[in-house]
Chains A and B, each alone.
Chain A
Amino acid sequence: MRRLFLLFCLTVASPAWAGGIAFIVNSRGPSISVVDMATLKEVSRIPTLREPHHLILTPDGHSLMVGDTAGNQMMFLDPNTGEVQKRMPVADPYQFQFSPDGKLLTVNGLLRNQVDVYDAASMKLLKRFPVVATPSHLTYSPDSSTVFVSLQDSDKLVAFDLRTMTEKWTVPIGKTPAGVLWLNGTVLVADMGTDHLAQVDPATGKILALIPTGKGAHQLFLSPDKKILWVNNREGGTTVSLDATTLKLIRSYSIPGGPDDMDFAPNGKIWITRRFAEKVAVLDPASGSYETINVGRSPHGLFLNPKAPSPAVVSSR
């Protein structure tokens, strides 16, 4: 009876989400911190070759791809355990994303000034687009027909037609275009050299509006329920929330230490890498306070896998 009672208590008292692994890419580590999402503690570090920056999940969910730029290597990790599955030579993989239909993989070679489009299934290079300067962030149109790439060391945004594999347009967009995101039929570009996002017509590249967010607008993310747009401002040291429909500012949060990438936990908290502080902030948007996790040098990309077993369980296998 006592055991049944204990089992009942554990079942009821445990939150629906009670574990999981966070992967934090330490660009200067060079390594990947594996963090227990339940305890907010780093439990292990996976060494990488030279300088990893970003990571994404493969469309089948079986692998986490980590791009090592100076190592010219794509690492594939098991998203449940962090175990290295394989390594593949890929030139300068800085930012990369699968197209929404899962058929293409676009890889931005930041320092090699190239945008590579691969067949996602075979990883065969289909097309290389040389660009004027430092392709940094990218986003797709929902029908996977176009990819939009910010050229950070120029003032430009470029659009490539992925059906004809040709350039559609290149337009000046601001001082230092960084994060890009497709939202409600437009493309939003964070301009790190100013304090705003540019809202761009995807057909023509024309700027439709400028949306103030904070000094050094760098990276932008849509909440899982698609209601809130989150923007990290590098110079201002702030993270702001905007209404995703009206693009009106809701609230600003102080996140010092160079806020960069973010991901959303099932408990509503937002994980943000703090590039210059060797830390990750776990922000509670309701209270505005955040907890801090110590990680490696220059944390950049991050990925949360709340469904993974806790790292303690993994290590005991």
Chain B
Amino acid sequence: MGDPFDLSAGWLEEHLLIPMLYQFGLMNWEDVSYSWVLFALYGVAQVAVTFAVCLPLEHWRPVERWPDNKAVWVDVAYTVLSRVGVLPLFTYVLFYRAQVFVSGWMTDQGWVPPTLEGLFPVLLGQQMITFVLYAIILDFADYWRHWLAHQFRWWWALHSLHHAQRQMTFWSDDRNHLLDDVIAFVWFGVIALLIGVPPLQFPLLVLTLRFLESLSHANVRLSFGWLGDRLLISPRFHRAHHGILGAGDRSCNYGAVLPWWDMLFRTADFGRDYVQTGDPSGEEALATGSYWQQQRAGLRRFARTFGRQHARHGS
């Protein structure tokens, strides 16, 4: 029995994409399309699993109920666009090419590009173990990316689109400004290059981490208990990060999947309970606008940071 994703991707490649590419004289895209369709399938599966897990949870014990959840539909569009289309294509194509270029250049200089398997040969062929180790390292890197996004005014202006949602659900993880997404992809990509993440594993790692991040955004009263909350980020823990800050409050809980980094660097707060989410400092379009209205509002806020002095922000 082969890998069902790989076989499905192969079937689609053979029966749909190659005939299409051949018809339009684009057979030079054959290799790229084969990889894209695989990661797009992973994306579809991941959205389906997220939906199957999170939706019942949100119906079971919602933190909030809204008479009108129109704002959530924009988040659905973000998710589908990101996980099925853009994310698989960019993470694979761009990362793959960058990886080949950088590591090939290093090889030419006589340096062996770094890999976990190179440092620890016992890991060669242990794909599941290396996958988990790479995921932990990338999550650590993401903690710092996220923390920095809250420290710089211009970065916060972009990132505030993510925080503007008052109706936070599991769909909200992907509601990001395009520029913020680009920064995140570059950040992830560079770290992944430095530690030698296999190019074929990288999109899968991103999708896996994103599944757990979706869960942490879910509109559900769910904690993993005293110990569980310290092992894996729960919806309760991450909601505290999205909470509207009162006087004297400091932003907290920057981690994406593992709370370990917040605990280690003293940014964890396990005490805040199911707070209200949103960012009152941003214009309304960031919260309830259409996709493009949100993007434009984010860009306006970003541009304004270069014109005026603002207080450092951390929602």
Contact = CB atoms under 8 A, between A and B. Distances in A.
A193 B22 contact: yes
B25 A175 contact: yes
Interface stretch (B107-115, B182-190, B242-250): B107-115
Nearest to B97: A111
Contact of A50 (B7, B125, B199): B199
B119 to A, nearest CB: 13
B198 A50 contact: yes
A192 interface: yes
A258 B124 contact: no
A276 interface: yes
Contact residues of B: prevailing secondary structure: helix
B27 interface: yes
Most B Cβ at <10 Å: residue of A30, A50, A297, A298:
A50
Contact residues of A: prevailing secondary structure: loop
A234 to B, nearest CB: 7
Interface string A20-44: 0000000010110000000000000
Given A92-B104, A294-B2, A70 B199 contact: yes
B10 A91 contact: no
B305 interface: no
A288 interface: no
Interface in A192-224: 192-193, 215-216
A93 B110 CA distance: 15
A294 B101 CA distance: 33
B112 A89 contact: yes
Contacts, number: 108
Contact of A278 (B2, B101, B104): B2
A89 B101 CA distance: 14
Contacts of A70: 96, 99-100, 103, 198-200
A82 interface: no
Given A51-B199, A72-B104, A234-B18, A193 B124 contact: no
Most A Cβ at <10 Å: residue of B7, B10, B11, B99:
B10
A176 B10 contact: no
Interface in B1-59: 2-3, 6-7, 9-11, 13-14, 18-19, 22, 25, 27-28, 30, 34
A92 B97 CA distance: 11
A237 B14 contact: yes
Interface of B: 2-3, 6-7, 9-11, 13-14, 18-19, 22, 25, 27-28, 30, 34, 96-97, 99-101, 103-108, 110, 112-113, 115, 117, 124-125, 198-200
